[in-house]
Structure 1
């Protein structure tokens, strides 16, 4: 059993190191965040590449313009849903968990929204979730930023 546990931990470490975008748990189970910060052009390029290559589980940081505020998803964990257009022209859905982070009530169409979270590919441009802290401290925290205020 101990050997199996060592093998599993080793495989997780290898996969995260190979991908270069995973997380590594330190000795005290605190999350080491490997998100790279880019300017808008570089980050949108990274998201554009992730969309083109159908990549998921990628921590990203970028910003976009709100093109539509969708109704909240109230099934299971509640999420504020926001459709953004990135500098590259790509659209992306932000799914912001409002059970773990504050809802952005002042947000409106045309506003600029900065975000950090985990990208998941879909044919419509992708979804960014984990835009909040992780109470268990096992996943890199994300956030949304609107008008100078951070929501995490």
Structure 2
């Protein structure tokens, strides 16, 4: 006795329906079932300041230390280092160590977050005012490294 084709046809239709539903299903991040990938923080003020070769613009961002430089000891002392930004550009950070603590143990490859004032130059620009203003007249900045704030 020959079996009817009905169960096979039902199975084929069920598989086709399942495949179509999976293709149209929302991505895991849309359903809340998975942790979404966090995009890097991009400060549009920083991007715009670099593109427009601006001066004296308050910015915030982060980067990885690509070069450690000697302190600048002319006038107020500044700890200096170069950060490579997520977009591949670089900025020099000039952190006033007469007003705020030095970042101890800073090494190439370390991540540093910053808030300060950007001044464009042909090498990528400088971020300074990465500390509070002792006179209270200027917007305060900060640096964060290894879970510690420096301001």
Whether the TM-score (by the shorter chain) exceeds 0.5 is yes
Q: Which structure 1 residue ranges, 5 or more long, are not aligned?
A: 1-38
CA distance in 2, matches of 1:131, 1:97: 7
Partner of 1:42: 42
8 Å CA contact 2:45, 2:58 repeated in 1: no
8 Å CA contact 1:71, 1:81 repeated in 2: yes
Q: Which structure 2 residue ranges, 5 or more long, are not aligned?
A: 1-38
CA distance in 2, matches of 1:148, 1:42: 20
SS in 2 for 1:57: strand
Kindly state the Cα deviation for residue 148 of structure 1 after the two structures are TM-superposed: 0.5
Partner of 2:110: 111
Partner of 2:128: 129
Kindly state the Cα deviation for residue 46 of structure 1 after the two structures are TM-superposed: 3.5
- Displaced runs of 4 or more, over 6 A: none
Partner of 1:79: 78
8 Å CA contact 1:97, 1:132 repeated in 2: yes
Counterparts in 2 of 1:1-152, with a 5 A limit? 40-43=40-43, 45-152=44-151
The TM-score, its normalising length taken from structure 1, stands at 0.71
8 Å CA contact 1:48, 1:88 repeated in 2: no
RMSD of aligned alpha carbons: 1.3
Give a deviation string over 1:2-54, Cα, whole Å, max 9, x none.
xxxxxxxxxxxxxxxxxxxxxxxxxxxxxxxxxxxxx74431x5323212211
Query: Computing the radius of gyration over CA atoms, which structure comes out larger, 1 or 2?
Result: 2
